[in-house]
Each structure stands twice: as structure tokens, then as C-alpha cells.
Amino acid sequence: MDDETTTYDYLIIGGGTAGSVLAARLSEDPACRVCVVEGGPSDVGDERILKLRNWINLLGSEFDYGYTTEEQARGNSHILHSRARVLGGCSSHNTLISFLPFPQDLEEWVRGGCDGWGPETILPYRSRLRNTIVPVGAADRNAVAQDFVTAASTGLGVPVVEDFNARPFTDGAGFFSLAYDPATNNRSSASVAYLHPVMDRPNLTLRLETWAYRLLRDAEGRFTRVQVRNPDGSVSTLEAEAEVLLCAGAIDTPRLLLLSGIGPADQLRDLGIEVGADMPGVGENLLDHPESVMVWETRGPLPPNSAMDSDAGLFLRRDAAGGPRPDLMFHFYQVPFTTNTERLGYPVPEHGVCMTPNVPRARSVGRMWLRSADPAVKPALDFRYFTDPEGYDERTIVDGLRIAREVAATAPLSDWLLREVAPGPDVRSDADLSEYGRRAAHTVYHPAGTCRMGAEDDPLAVVDPQLRLRGHDGLRIVDASVFPTMPTINPMVTVLLAAERAADLITARPAPAPLGTEAADR
């Protein structure tokens, strides 16, 4: 181990979605020394990363940590959970579908003890976001996706939504808003928007391909020291004079805590890890957006223009008693996404489209844990898909498969379709649709919740509403692991807003002015 410890004011562990925001904001003060520790390479100048439409080729690539799933009693055990190994994190790896959180999602957090995280506080941070977030550009709106939007609106009686971020909605079909440049198809990821313009700041250090694997206490007992493995394999110790900001995501943030002896004491002792802080909530409350898939073969090739091959979607509210938020979502793929159906024996059409019914607020909750004290051994992930006692998640998928068929049978989309490939028209009963839907289920790559924020009397809360590790100084967590519950929509923008909020909590900078009453109510 190197004898010398390198010191900064703030150490940011993870140069992903939240870490990029914090690095840019904290380094605005030229006297503040900021270091970002990122396990992957830079995205600067790498067209494989920067071109949004290439996202699907990043899955399982050198830029993907690729976490496997524990055996699922009622779901698909073969899901590979992609987590990005590159500057910008998952915003350099995903489809950049960008939704503001629903106000009711944030109100739910406040009811759970997260004071200061209501919509009146968090939604005004949209004015601070540096990303370019726009509806899919006109040139990228291909005809089959447009006809899906028309068929969904006509067949289901829902409005066509021109901009899902413009105002509240309970249902609707339309093209998504994306964080990208329609003219170039370049990402407006967290790294592109926040880090690329400020990389020459002398007070900002990026330590790339450097992996943090253990937190250590300093002389005062604060968790402000980090052991890292450098690109050449050597080991160094870095120290934060102010705070360590843990932004490694909902899998690697709790993984690092557990490896450092911060977590459920009995689990740690069983692995031979010295207990530094008994925190039973670390790794618990593992959340996700599960989805299934239906595949149709089309009558011929599809139009080549697209932003990222899943440009449009559909939201429905089946139960008005559940409030104004939608409770069923669909992505519409303009390519045959057959990762799971092919494994089940279904053919792969040369030309095809898919609809993916998604559970926006799934009630099944999982957990993650360490298999070994060896930092090189990947953790265990058990999402416990479709295990909620009321069967809500399963029912949502069955409803979604039936509704997808309704849309597919409606012109003008029906004019494109030759036949239903998976599960096939003979799969009709609830039981058969459930069996297929769960076996073909996938993830939307939205793990969250494993270090949840909560009130002082919540025994499983890992951080307080200031995002500080409960009962300990020197460490905050800023990423989707702090979400107490899952936002209804794709959560990237919620992570960006949380990071902007965290920057103000850290620096005591005033929050943005509240929006007008109408806007604040969204």
C-alpha cells in the first residue's frame, strides 16, 4: 500500500449521474478541492458512448459491470443487471428517457419521514439542470412509432401527449422526452452536460479506472478515508477533509458500505468483516421497475430513422382510486427486443416491434447482500419479482399484455404487423399470460432504494433527510439508493434533481425559488 495519503476537500465516489452533478457544482468554488473516483474510463470523444442510438450495444460490453440475479421463485432468474462502467454512469449507458418525478412520488417520500423533499422544494430544481431535455426530434419520429402513438390514443381513448414534462398527466401516448441533441444524436448525459465543460478546472481531479473498495475512519472516527485500486493495480488511500460523497449507485453504494463494515452486524460478522457501524437497512429495500414484453413480426423492414429505437410510450391509469398517477407504462420498441423470448424458444423475427408493459410502482421488494468479504466478488441481488402478497405486480403485467394486444389490433399500427410472435395468439388465459409474462420479464435497469432515506425513528433508514449516514459524520450518499420508494417514471431526472439538492445541502446555498402554484402542483 502507498504510505502517502492524498487529501481533498470532497471525495466523490462514482462519476455517474449524481457524481457528475456534484463534481461540477462543488468545484464552482475555486478554493474547494474536489476529486472524483470513477471505476470506468472517460466518455470524452468516444462515439460508442456519446451516440445515443448505440445504447443497446453497450449492454454486456466492457462498459457494463453486468450483475447477475439470484434465483427468482416467480420471475426471470436470467436477468443481467447492467450498471455502467464509464464516466457519466448510467446516463452514459441508458436511453436517456427523461421525466420529472410526479409530485405525488415526492409527497410519498415526505410522508415516509423525508422532510424537505416535497415537490415544492425539489421540482424547482428543474431550472438548475444543465442537460438538454427535449421531446424526440421530428426527424427521429419514424412512421411505425407515430402509428403506435395514434393507435394507442385511438384504441384506448387516451390523449396524445406532446411533452410529458409540460404538465401533469394521468395517461397518454406520445414520444418521450430525451436528454440528447436531435441534430447529432449525441447524449446530453450528466458527464456531457456537467463535467465536459469544466474538466480544465485546476481544483477538479478525475481519477478514472480507479475503484474504491473500502471506507476507513479518520483520527476523529469519521468515514472520510477511502482505499482505492489504481489503474496499474496499486493501492492508494484518499482522504476528504470535509466529506466523502458516495454516488456509486443502488448496487455499488451499499456494496462499498458493507465491505467497509457498515451494515447489518450479523451478516458482516458471518463474512468475517469487522463491524464499524451496525446499520440493518444497508442492502434492504431493493426496488426496480419490472416489465415484460410482447413481440410482433412486421410485414417488412421498418423506417431507419430513430433516436434510440424505443422512442415512444404509453401510460395508463387503471385504478382512479390510486390517485392521479398512471399505474401502467409501456415502452414501444422499433426493434425486436428478444433477449428473454429467444431463451424461451420463441423465434426471432428479422423485422419486428415490441411493447413492454411495465409496473411503475411495483410492490415486490427485494434485497442485496455480500457473498464474500473479497471486494472482487460481486454481490447477490434478489429483487423478489412478482412476490407481493396481493399479486398486484403480476396483475399489472397481465393487464398490460392484454392492453398491448388491443393497441396492436388497432389501425394504423395493425397495418404494419404480420403476426404476434411472443407469446403468440394462443396464450389467452390469465394464468398462461402470467406464466409467460413473468418468465419473459426483464428490468428497465432502475435499481433503487438500498440505502433509503428516512426519519430518525425508521430502523431501516440509512441516511437522514440531509443525506448524511445516520449517526456518523463525514459521509453522505447521493444516488438512487436513497430513494425510499420508486418514482413512477424512469428515475434519471429524479437522481439529477436529488444531486442538485444535495449540492445545496452541502454548501448551504439557497434553494431555487418555488415555482408558481400551478407548476409546483405538478
Residue 442 lies in a domain: yes
Residue partners of 150: CB distance under 8 A and separation at least 6: 160, 412, 413
Predicted confidence (pLDDT) at residue 265 exceeds the cutoff of 90:
yes
Residues 119-178 pLDDT 10s: 999 999 999 999 999 999 999 999 999 999 999 999 999 999 999 999 989 999 999 999
Predicted confidence (pLDDT) at residue 518 exceeds the cutoff of 60:
no
Per-residue pLDDT averaged across 228-239, rounded? Answer: 97
* CA torsion, ordered 339, 344, 350, 355, to nearest 10 deg: -60
Provide the domain limits for residue 281: 7-507
Tell me if 380 sits within 8 A of 407, measured CB to CB.
no
Angle between helices 143-156 and 392-408 (to 10 degrees): 110
- Measured CA to CA in angstroms, residue 21 lies from 24, 31, 197, 210, 500 at distances of 5, 18, 12, 19, 7
Residue partners of 54: CB distance under 8 A and separation at least 6: 47, 48
Residue 515 lies in a domain: no
pLDDT at 429: 98
Residue 448 lies in a domain: yes
> Pairing state of beta strands 235-246 and 277-278?
unpaired
Predicted confidence (pLDDT) at residue 69 exceeds the cutoff of 80:
yes
Residue 452 lies in a domain: yes
86 annotated to bind ligand: yes
Per-residue pLDDT averaged across 313-329, rounded? Answer: 94
Annotated catalytic, 196? no
SS3 216: strand
pLDDT at 475: 98
Sign of CA dihedral 127, 129, 135, 140: positive
Residues 346-376 pLDDT 10s: 999 999 999 999 999 999 999 999 999 999 9
For residues 10 and 27, give the distance between their C-alpha atoms in angstroms, rounded to a whole number. Answer: 9
Residue 514 lies in a domain: no
Task: Provide the residue type at 90 as one letter.
Answer: C
> Any bridge partners for residue 417, and if so which?
298
At 514, the pLDDT band (50, 70, 90 cuts) reads: confident
Q: Which of 78, 442, 446, 472 is catalytic?
A: 446
Residue 161 lies in a domain: yes
Task: Provide the residue type at 45 as one letter.
Answer: G
Domain containing residue 111: CATH number: 3.50.50.60
pLDDT at 515: 73
Tell me if 230 sits within 8 A of 212, measured CB to CB.
no
SS3 358: strand
For residues 501 and 129, give the distance between their C-alpha atoms in angstroms, rounded to a whole number. Answer: 11
Predicted confidence (pLDDT) at residue 521 exceeds the cutoff of 50:
no
pLDDT at 517: 40
Residue 516 lies in a domain: no
Would you list the DSSP string of 43-106?
-TT-HHHHBGGGGGGGTTSTTB--B-----SSS-TT--B--B-STTGGGGTS--B--PPPHHHH
For residues 20 and 199, give the distance between their C-alpha atoms in angstroms, rounded to a whole number. Answer: 11
pLDDT at 522: 37
**Can you list the positions of beta strands (E) in 308-349?**
312-316, 328-333
Predicted confidence (pLDDT) at residue 520 exceeds the cutoff of 80:
no
pLDDT at 2: 46
pLDDT at 516: 62
How big is the chain, counted in residues?
522
Of 356, 300, 327, 303, give the one whose Cα is nearest residue 147.
303
Domain count within the chain: 1
Residues 365-405 pLDDT 10s: 999 999 999 999 999 999 999 999 999 999 999 999 999 99
